Amino acid sequence: MTIAARVFLASTVSIVLLLAGCKTAPPPRKASGTDLFNGKNFDGWTFCMKNNADPMQTWSVSDGVMRCTGTPLGYIRTTDTFHDYKLNCVWRFVKLDPNPKKNNTGILVHIQLPDVVFPECVQCQGLYQHQGDLILEDGANADGHQAAKKTVTLPQIGPPNENPAGEWNTNEVICTGNNMGLFVNGKAMNQITGCNLTSGFIGIQSEGGDIEIRKLSLQPLD
């Protein structure tokens, strides 16, 4: 083998190994009526936990319900990415902690790689009595809110509309193009326009709150 051929071969192998090590997201899918949670297991999901903690110590499925203990910090996300959809999440706090800061979770949409705690995305806040807040995480931005790698909270519009702990809530997130609307139990709570993120993974936070989810589904936009 000539020197030139060896150089070419070495370069080709290096490129292949480099590409193999890159983590890329799959092409986003348009919603077509999809149950993201099948009520049985975590098929279609993957985990990112702080300090690579065992996710099975935090997340479980029983009797058709997904449960998260809230510790340690982390999240579960879909393995597919999506764009332009209505996301419906039916969930509740199992119980409240005396420390109000621990009664926290969140719905993450438009999650971007890499998987870190916590990633670039838009969070629909799950903190008790603040479930109408939207949070631009780790550089996500929108009209009037240029985050520049900071986290920006957009407070909910009006008083909270969530149910007491132990009762089920229905949170709906409507993502269309670079716009997003958040509804809690049928009431419009927040919206953003001009978001720099228009697609990505969908996830649920582990952030202190003991929560259960019985439905997580996508519907296409009308």
pLDDT level of residue 23 (50, 70, 90 thresholds): low
C-alpha closest to that of 121 among 91, 77, 160: 77
Residue 135 lies in a domain: yes
CATH number at residue 154: 2.60.120.560
Domain that holds residue 110: 24-219
pLDDT tens-digit map of 158-213? 999 999 999 999 999 999 999 999 999 999 999 999 999 999 999 999 999 999 99
Give pLDDT, residue 82.
97
The model's pTM is 0.88
Residue 16 lies in a domain: no
Average pLDDT rounded to a whole number, residues 104-108: 98
Residue 150 lies in a domain: yes
Residue 17 lies in a domain: no
Does residue 125 have a pLDDT over 60? Answer: yes
Phi, psi of 141 (to 5 degrees): -140, 165
Mean pLDDT of the chain: 89
Give the three-class secondary structure for 135: strand
pLDDT level of residue 147 (50, 70, 90 thresholds): low
Q: Into how many domains does the chain fold?
A: 1
pLDDT level of residue 30 (50, 70, 90 thresholds): low
Average pLDDT rounded to a whole number, residues 43-61: 98
Residue 14 lies in a domain: no
Residue 9 lies in a domain: no
User: Contact at 8 Å (CB) between 184 and 161?
Assistant: yes
Residue 113 Ramachandran class (φ > 0 left, ψ -120 to 50 alpha, else beta): beta
Residue 2 lies in a domain: no
